[in-house]
Structure 1
Amino acid sequence: MARAQGARAQMALAFETTYGTPPVGGFTKMPFASSSLGAQQPLLNSELLGYGRDPLAPIKDSVTADGDVVVPLDAEAFGFWLKAAFGDPTTTGTGPWTHEFQSGSWTLPSMSIETGMPEVPRFAMYSGCVLDQINWQMQRSGLLTATARLVAQGETVGTTTSAGTPVALELQRFGHFNGAITRNGSALGNVVSAEITYANNLDRIETIRSDGRIDGADPSIAALTGRIEVRFADQTLVTQAINGEACELEFAYVLPSGESFTFTVHAVYLPRPRIEISGPQGVQATFDWQAARDSVVGRMCTATLVNDVEIY
């Protein structure tokens, strides 16, 4: 008997025209490292008395469908997750194309995502998936991945795929070696690590339904936060924190073949950190920064992806 193995798992994604309704085609094969996307329905214990010490049968509660998907930061497939986070991009060029995603949209697209384990067989289609949060880290070495947190409407399980034959993209993966950080247009030195988290802070529409599913997931006030850990070499960042000023931070990755991903945070505010001397090693400072809407640019952040994909 065949047993499920993660090495044989597969994932396909397509954007929906109608929330909660999987499209009949147009799926794309997505690279991923792991997935906790799933649906669960807990049981409620019976509170009734008068039937002895043994409890009565439990009843089903509402369905919750959500989870995290860990994906690589790459030149093509990552654009689907950026569209899920920010909405449709503005695309320019004639190949390579430049896709610019901007924060602030009140309308986010929903997706249908199918995860498959062919050897069982089990194919689970998650409809009405909306991206709640995406985050990643920058460091000197290691594998570069992002974690996308999703809220879905429901799960439908079958023994055959509903995604047809998904389109496969060319995997051109960014690495930590390709990354750089700038502050107000100048290279920011002495950075040990950085973390970026963008959240749509979805509001689940939990109406009364016979199937126990939600009616939707609406974005509320977004949040963009992160952390920068630096070797303490000068007072630039501390002075900015004390003065309560904002700066522009840009996190960029560029491949030798020309593909690039640039995430620009237009107004970053830094807290005043505690500078500790914990021993004879170098002194490090950690800044848990927050972003806000920049009054000049008119938004909080911009994500720019340059690749060979014409449209998302």
Structure 2
Amino acid sequence: MARASGARSQFAAAFESTYGTAPASGYLKLPFVSTGLSSEQGLIASDLLGLGRDPADPIRDVINADGDVVVPVDLRNFGHWLKLLFGAPASTGSAGAYVHTFTSGGWTLPSLSAEIGMPEVPSFAMVSGIRANTMNLRMQRSGAVNATIGCIAQGEALATATAAGTPTEAVLDRFNQFQGAIKKDGVALANVTSADLTYSNNLDRVETIRSDGKIEGADPGAATMTGSMDVRFADTTLLDAAIAGTPMELEFSFTISASKKLVITAHKVFLPKPRRSITGPGGVQASFAWQAAKGAARMCTLVLSNDVAAYA
């Protein structure tokens, strides 16, 4: 009897033309680190009286389909997750050198169907109506760069055979932490030991009355972008800006080469005045929990440069 293992699991995804309807073709084989994307249906305990001390049968509750997918931040596949988060980018370039610009603030977001397969059982779960709610990305001195994508889906269908066919697979070219950099107003920011950023679409579940127990959809709310930076206390550049309430532009980037890079720009960032604690003889650090706001045109811009012609 075969047993499921993560090493043999598969994640195949395709963008939907109709929300909640899995496409018949066009699936992409996407690499992932872990996934909790699935559906669950709880039970409601019986509230009946007069039948003795032992309870009557419970009843089934509504279906909730959601979960996090941890994915590598790579040169090609990550663009599909950015499209799910922000919508289709504006793409320019030619001859293998393309630039894809994703921007916040769009009113319409696409949806995705993803088949999570464990072929040795066999079990293939098609999760449909997936929308990306949040993205969390952490920067540090070493290691691989991963992003956690928080998803809200409509439902899940189980099958014993794949419905994704033979998915298209892109060459994996992964960003590493040592390729990261942070800039403030266009100038490299020194003494940062770690940083993280979180973008949220603040999706609103449309929980209508339906016979199948699923949600009607997940509509985008007001977007937010927040994060934090841990900084060795060597100068008062950030502290002065925090005290004065002066906004700044923060740029987070990972660069393989001039034509292979990811640049995330928060255009108008405000810092709080942090607490500075001395806990021992080592270096003194301050942690700035920042918040982004809309700049001249938008809150944030993400630019992915690679050899993929389009993410439309």
Q: Secondary structure at the match of 2:278?
A: coil
TM-score by length of 2: 0.98
| Residues in 1 aligned to 2:243 and 2:209: alpha-carbon distance in whole angstroms | 50
Q: Secondary structure at the match of 2:241?
A: helix
Match of 1:195 in 2: 196
Question: Alpha-carbon deviations, 1:98-136, whole Å to 9, x = none?
Answer: 000000001110000110000000000000000000111
Counterparts of residues 29-68 of structure 1 (less than 5 Å):
29-68=29-68
Question: Alpha-carbon deviations, 1:31-77, whole Å to 9, x = none?
Answer: 00100011000000110100000100011000000000000000000
Query: How far 1:278 moved relative to its partner?
Result: 1.5
Query: How far 1:245 moved relative to its partner?
Result: 1.0
Match of 1:266 in 2: 267
Give the counterpart letter for 2:67 in structure 1: G
Question: Alpha-carbon deviations, 1:2-58, whole Å to 9, x = none?
Answer: 000010001011110000001111110000010001100000011010000010001
| Residues in 2 aligned to 1:264 and 1:228: alpha-carbon distance in whole angstroms | 15
Ranges of 4+ aligned residues in structure 1 off by more than 6 Å? none
| Residues in 2 aligned to 1:137 and 1:121: alpha-carbon distance in whole angstroms | 35
Give the counterpart letter for 1:112 in structure 2: S
**Percent identity of the aligned residues?**
56
| Residues in 2 aligned to 1:258 and 1:100: alpha-carbon distance in whole angstroms | 14
Counterparts of residues 114-153 of structure 1 (less than 5 Å):
114-153=115-154
Match of 2:12 in 1: 12
Match of 1:162 in 2: 163
| Residues in 2 aligned to 1:164 and 1:207: alpha-carbon distance in whole angstroms | 33
| Residues in 1 aligned to 2:88 and 2:301: alpha-carbon distance in whole angstroms | 12
| Residues in 2 aligned to 1:99 and 1:151: alpha-carbon distance in whole angstroms | 25
Match of 1:79 in 2: 79
| Residues in 1 aligned to 2:276 and 2:66: alpha-carbon distance in whole angstroms | 39
Query: How far 1:256 moved relative to its partner?
Result: 3.9
Any stretches of 5+ residues in structure 2 without a counterpart? none
Counterparts of residues 258-297 of structure 1 (less than 5 Å):
258-294=259-295, 296=296
The CA RMSD over aligned residues, in Å, is 0.8
TM-score by length of 1: 0.98
Q: Secondary structure at the match of 1:173?
A: coil
| Residues in 2 aligned to 1:148 and 1:38: alpha-carbon distance in whole angstroms | 14
Contact 2:137/2:198, CA 8 A, preserved across alignment: yes
Query: How far 1:311 moved relative to its partner?
Result: 1.1
- Equivalenced residue count is 310
| Residues in 2 aligned to 1:130 and 1:146: alpha-carbon distance in whole angstroms | 16
| Residues in 2 aligned to 1:227 and 1:234: alpha-carbon distance in whole angstroms | 18
- The reply on whether 1:204 has 2:205 as its aligned counterpart is yes
Query: How far 1:257 moved relative to its partner?
Result: 7.5
Question: Alpha-carbon deviations, 1:195-249, whole Å to 9, x = none?
Answer: 0100001000000000000000001011100000000011110010011111000
Match of 1:96 in 2: 97
- The reply on whether 1:305 has 2:297 as its aligned counterpart is no
| Residues in 1 aligned to 2:277 and 2:3: alpha-carbon distance in whole angstroms | 52
- The reply on whether 1:3 has 2:3 as its aligned counterpart is yes
| Residues in 2 aligned to 1:174 and 1:22: alpha-carbon distance in whole angstroms | 31
Q: Secondary structure at the match of 2:267?
A: strand
Query: How far 1:166 moved relative to its partner?
Result: 0.4
Q: Secondary structure at the match of 1:93?
A: strand
Contact 2:144/2:175, CA 8 A, preserved across alignment: no
- The reply on whether 1:246 has 2:251 as its aligned counterpart is no
Any stretches of 5+ residues in structure 1 without a counterpart? none
| Residues in 2 aligned to 1:33 and 1:276: alpha-carbon distance in whole angstroms | 35
Match of 1:26 in 2: 26
| Residues in 1 aligned to 2:39 and 2:222: alpha-carbon distance in whole angstroms | 26
| Residues in 2 aligned to 1:250 and 1:13: alpha-carbon distance in whole angstroms | 30
| Residues in 1 aligned to 2:123 and 2:175: alpha-carbon distance in whole angstroms | 32
Give the counterpart letter for 1:215 in structure 2: E
